[in-house]
């Protein structure tokens, strides 16, 4: 794969072009993220980039998982990640678009170089478990890509898929064991053979695995971002765990 830090910066730059061109009415338009306006989505991205900066400064930004009890799978403690994000956004709404864009830019464009500069072997605090700088960069790319859809789709603004999706597809496949565990679903090895936006074939996992997922990488990533239902995708599955994998797939910050 190409350099994740360069690709993270490129994703920010692609989104920045969109945000810079928004009108005041578009900033207040409902996004595809339920209950959030476009401004709310950008605020969330700024806040989570500031969490990345806090992690880089040595702060603990983990949300603990409670242990499984009475046959129920473990879960994130407190109100959970989504509820915590909602609360953070609600606490800081009504920032003027120009100020919000400047805030996101300050946080976002400092992240790739700061992550690249970390010493080999560094582990950084994050939502679920400590991550390497490269994996944290991948989660930031995945989140910005998903939320770019939330911003652009309702406004009818083009946001082309790129080869950067390979990082997100890798993350979704890499974290399948975690996704099975969180969902309390029996899982196993799954081989993925995905077609890139440019027609290249991307392979993840052991080709000898009894379960497979094949189809467009963009669909795989959107299913993992919960922006597309598996049944509405062009993805095909085989074996005992293929369909289960799509049911639990998520671009987890792991």
| First CA to last CA distance, the chain | 18
Residue 176 pLDDT? 96
> Structural domains in the chain?
4-155 (1.20.120.450), 165-248 (3.30.1050)
Query: Which residues, 6+ apart, have CB-to-CB distance to 165 below 8 Å?
Result: 145, 196, 197, 217, 218, 221
At 138-178, the pLDDT tens digits run 999 999 999 999 999 999 999 999 999 999 999 999 999 99
The helix (H) or strand (E) run that includes residue 103 is helix 97-108
Q: Shortest CA distance to 222 belongs to which of 172, 180, 178, 174?
A: 172
Residue 253 pLDDT? 59
Distance, CA of 113 to CA of 104 (rounded, Å): 16
Query: What does the DSSP 8-state code read for residue 205?
Result: S
Largest CA distance in the chain: 54
At 21-69, the pLDDT tens digits run 999 999 999 999 999 999 999 999 999 999 999 999 999 988 755 444 4
């Amino acid at each position: 794969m190409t350099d994740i830090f360069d690709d993270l910066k490129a994703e920010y730059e692609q989104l920045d072009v969109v945000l810079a061109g928004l009108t005041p009415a578009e900033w207040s338009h409902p996004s595809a993220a339920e209950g959030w306006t476009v401004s709310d989505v950008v605020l969330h991205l700024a806040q989570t980039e500031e969490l990345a900066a806090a992690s880089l400064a040595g702060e603990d930004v983990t949300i603990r998982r409670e242990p499984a009890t009475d046959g129920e799978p473990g879960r994130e403690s407190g109100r959970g990640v989504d509820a915590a994000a909602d609360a953070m956004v609600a606490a800081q709404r009504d920032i003027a678009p120009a100020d919000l864009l400047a805030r996101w830019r300050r946080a976002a464009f400092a992240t790739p170089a700061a992550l690249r500069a970390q010493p080999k072997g560094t582990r950084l605090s994050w939502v679920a478990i400590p991550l390497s700088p490269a994996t944290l960069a991948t989660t930031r790319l995945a989140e910005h890509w998903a939320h770019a859809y939330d911003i652009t789709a309702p406004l009818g603004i083009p946001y082309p898929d790129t080869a950067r999706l390979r990082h997100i597809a890798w993350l979704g496949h890499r974290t399948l064991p975690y996704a099975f565990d969180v969902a309390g679903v029996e899982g196993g090895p799954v081989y993925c053979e995905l077609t890139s936006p440019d027609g290249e074939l991307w392979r993840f996992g052991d080709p000898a695995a009894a379960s497979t997922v094949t189809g467009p990488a963009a669909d795989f990533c959107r299913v993992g971002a919960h922006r597309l239902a598996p049944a509405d995708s062009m993805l095909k599955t085989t074996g005992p765990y293929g369909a289960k994998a799509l049911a639990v797939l998520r671009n987890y910050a792991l």
